[in-house]
Amino acid sequence: MNDILYILLFLAMLGVLVTIHELGHFAMAKLFNVYVSEFAVGFGPVLFKKKKGETQYAVRIIPLG
């Protein structure tokens, strides 16, 4: 049971780290007026998405890159 908890905590921390990293890319693109069609955290099938302005924001199933 502890192993499952550690794996879930690792994935949550990895997801936070990836989100912060990707937000840096997103902020620089917006700062230099680069068109951003989608800002997604993770890859694979979409769990959640929302379009705001010109950008679609998405959370995907695998919390890597």
The owner of tokens 């905590």 is 9
- Which 8-state DSSP code applies to residue 49? E
Residues 49, 57: contact at Cβ < 8 Å?
yes
Catalytic residue from among 15, 19, 22, 43:
22
38 given a catalytic annotation? no
Residues 38, 55: contact at Cβ < 8 Å?
yes
**Catalytically annotated residues:** 22
